[in-house]
Structure 1
Amino acid sequence: MKAINLITLLLVIVGGINWGLVGLAQFDLVAALFGGQSAALSRIVYVLVGVSALWQLVPFSKAMSTDEPLAERGYSAGPR
């Protein structure tokens, strides 16, 4: 579970950086790297970023319902 959380967090960060570049410089890094917005690989990256954002809602909601240190320890209320 920790590996998928790290991968999805990385993809969300990539998406955030990409949107920042689009907003500031009208430059879509994903499209530039993978052959345009309509290219299959670009669309796959966009979908993976979107699914990753949805996945990250789970740890976010758990962090909001517990105190932050417990959420960072893997969502368990007991000591490790």
Structure 2
Amino acid sequence: MKGLDYTLLTLVIIGAINWGLIGFFQFDLVAFIFGNMSWLSRIIYALVGLSGLYMISAYGRIRSN
């Protein structure tokens, strides 16, 4: 379970960095690398979103420790 948490946390961090780049510089790194709304970039956006939803459960695990 710890490996999954680290993998998904990494995806969330990548998403946060991408949003920071969009906010500060209007530069979408995912679209730059994989194409603007190509099937691959859409998969990456979806995985980052699902990772963020999953990481909400980290609050419950942190609080229970």
Q: Give the TM interval when normalised to the shorter protein.
A: over 0.9
1:13 equivalent to 2:16? Answer no
Q: Which fold has the larger relative contact order, with Cα–Cα distance below 8 Å and residues 6 or more apart in sequence? A: 2
TM-score by length of 2: 0.93
Compare the two structures and name the one with the higher helix fraction: 2
Greater Cα radius of gyration, structure 1 or 2: 1
1:34 equivalent to 2:34? Answer yes
- Structure 1, unaligned stretches of length 5 or more? 71-80
1:48-63 equivalences under 5 Å are: 48-63=47-62
TM-score by length of 1: 0.76
Q: Over residues 49-77 of structure 1, what are the superposed CA-to-partner deviations in whole Å (9 max), with x where a residue is unaligned?
A: 000001101112222x33xxx3xxxxxxx
Identity between Structure 1 and Structure 2 (%): 48
